[in-house]
Amino acid sequence: MPRRCLLALCLVFPLLFAPAVSAQSTRDPVALARAGAAALDEKRFGDALESFTAASAIAPRDPGLCAGAGIAAFMLGRDRDAEDWFEKALKLEPRYRTASEGLGQVHYRAGRLKEAIEVYEAALKYAPGASEIEATLGEWKREASRQSRSYETRGAHFAVRFEGPGDELLALRAVERLESEYWRIGQTLTAYPPNPITVVLYTQQEFRDITRMPSWTAAAYDGRIHVPMRGALEQTEELDRVLGHEFVHAVVAMLGGRNVPVWLNEGLATALERGGAEESERVLAATRARPALQLLHRSFAGLSAADARIAYALSAHAVGRMMALRSPAAVVTLLQDLARGAAFATSFHQNIGMPYDDFQAMIARD
């Protein structure tokens, strides 16, 4: 979810960094709301959801509490709960922009483009001239226009959308490769997404226009897999690599929600893509650069192509180290802890058997 949504919600509650809720104040919705806002700001989304849920039970007519619970649930990957909370907030106050933005994002990331557009159109009626909503709505409408002209082919676990009959062979190839990756990666992690995953094939220009990703990006995942595919049939190894990488992101989202450090997310995807671990070690062998993992918790989108290449390689190396220290199952358990709202450093130590600071120091020395 855009950072502005979190900030907008936090403005509802003064004294953002309020003390933890005491036993005496657990029936005080104001104290619970302050604790929830502080937890959101500190990315303790499990604590935030607990606080806002408790506050809403006491003050069920407060839309801000519902929106707070919605944001926390969204970040934990509990999209159905987030949708319910945002809808409740909008029933209480249709003008609540934070809830509208949150609900629109839930629909969009689930592939419900029509519903996402309807939510944002309703929001604009109450906030005419809101430039960020207008810009996003314009992008979604252009995507919807393209989608209305698209075709679709399905496999057991994937639905691939493509522009025209001339791309059907490419779509069939993508389904075939994705189904293979589903079982290969699922067996490694003992985790299999139960719901079909939508994949959208684009031209290079469409991909840039819709995803707004850097030029060095090979594909993207935001609840759907977006892939620029021209020429892919002639590059089957690259196709397998890209599709496998993006499928891992879908598994990570299922297991860990949206509070997974980017280096762990990208590192697992790179390490499990075909040839990814070997290529990462070659990249690291050619450079002495070792950015601190703490600096790689956020998106790589702002990095140059050269820096991104190192960041992906180092992330994959770090994940390889984690699996060597323990096992892929330990990484899965760490992700599941994050989905429950656990603090990353604490869960890392419990599952990998090494303090996170010590692990970072070890990776820097490798």
Domain boundaries, the chain: 3-147, 151-253, 262-365
Considering the segment(s) 151-253 as one domain, its CATH architecture is 3-Layer(aba) Sandwich (3.40)
| Model confidence, pTM | 0.82
Residue 332 to residue 285: CA distance in whole angstroms = 28
221, 260, 211, 268: which is closest to 77 by C-alpha?
260
* Residues counted in the chain: 366
CB 219 within 8 A of CB 227: yes
Tokens of 317: 């190396």
Which top CATH class is 3-147? mainly alpha
Q: Give the pLDDT mean for 295-306.
A: 93
End-to-end alpha carbon distance in the chain: 35
Answer whether residue 9 shows pLDDT above 50.
no
Q: Give tens-digit pLDDT for 126-161.
A: 988 889 999 999 989 988 888 888 889 999 999 998
Mean residue pLDDT across the chain: 88
Q: Give tens-digit pLDDT for 16-56.
A: 333 444 433 467 899 999 999 999 988 889 999 999 999 99
- Kindly provide the residue ranges of all beta strands, DSSP E only, lying in the chain, ordered along the sequence: 151-154, 158-162, 197-202, 220-221, 225-228
Q: Give the pLDDT mean for 305-321.
A: 96
Which residue pairs from 300-305 have beta carbons closer than 8 angstroms and sit at least 24 positions apart in sequence?
A: 300/262, 300/266, 301/213, 301/214, 301/217, 303/214, 305/214, 305/215, 305/216
